[in-house]
């Protein structure tokens, strides 16, 4: 899950501002879309409390808002209003800076279905669809947005076993994602 957006620009804030602007542009391009791609089913029996905490980005489809980022994590915690606080963080090796975006997420409908809407800027929301999840241990998940241009593999650990990763990649291909274009994140 991993898109979020969150702007006097000092030299210190410039990388963060660029990161947030990229996230904004990505979210605007989805036109506040909270739909689910055809043929994708969000997980049912979802338990938010088990999903909260830190996740490592294992792989993703490329987007400008994460360009050049390694050591990418997403951290989820409860907000006072019942929503989810989202902090996405990654290290830009070339610029030698950390980029961070803070957002919020809410369930689209049923709280036991892994379909949320996430925003990093005001009223603009985009889909966060958990369509594959290790329901026993909540150790790994696959996420998409409103279409198959958005895709992430997340894990509670910085790496997945080769067997689990191959199983997830196979499942992603069958679901129509172009796994040949995946970026595997250095953690």
Q: Give 8-34 pLDDT, tens digit per residue.
A: 334 444 455 555 555 555 544 444 488
Q: Give 158-171 pLDDT, tens digit per residue.
A: 999 999 999 999 99
The DSSP bridge partners found for residue 73 are 56, 89
CATH of domain 14-184: 2.40.128.20
Say if pTM beats, i.e. exceeds, 0.85.
no
């Amino acid at each position: 899950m991993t898109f979020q957006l969150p702007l006097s620009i000092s030299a210190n804030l410039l990388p963060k501002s660029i990161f947030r602007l990229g996230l904004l542009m990505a979210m605007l391009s989805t036109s506040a879309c909270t739909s689910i791609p055809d043929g994708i089913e969000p997980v049912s029996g979802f338990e938010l409390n088990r999903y909260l905490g830190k996740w490592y980005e294992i792989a993703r489809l490329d987007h400008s808002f994460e360009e050049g980022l390694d050591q990418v994590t997403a951290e989820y915690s409860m907000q006072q209003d019942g929503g989810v606080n989202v902090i996405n963080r990654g290290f830009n090796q070339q610029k030698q800076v950390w980029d961070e975006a803070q957002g919020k997420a809410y369930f689209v409908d049923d709280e036991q279905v892994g379909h949320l809407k996430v925003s990093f800027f005001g009223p603009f929301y985009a889909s966060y669809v958990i369509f594959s999840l290790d329901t026993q241990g909540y150790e790994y998940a696959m996420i998409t947005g409103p279409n198959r241009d958005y895709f992430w593999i997340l894990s509670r650990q910085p790496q997945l076993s080769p067997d689990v990763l191959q199983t997830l990649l196979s499942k992603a291909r069958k679901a129509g994602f172009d796994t040949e274009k995946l970026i595997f994140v250095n953690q």
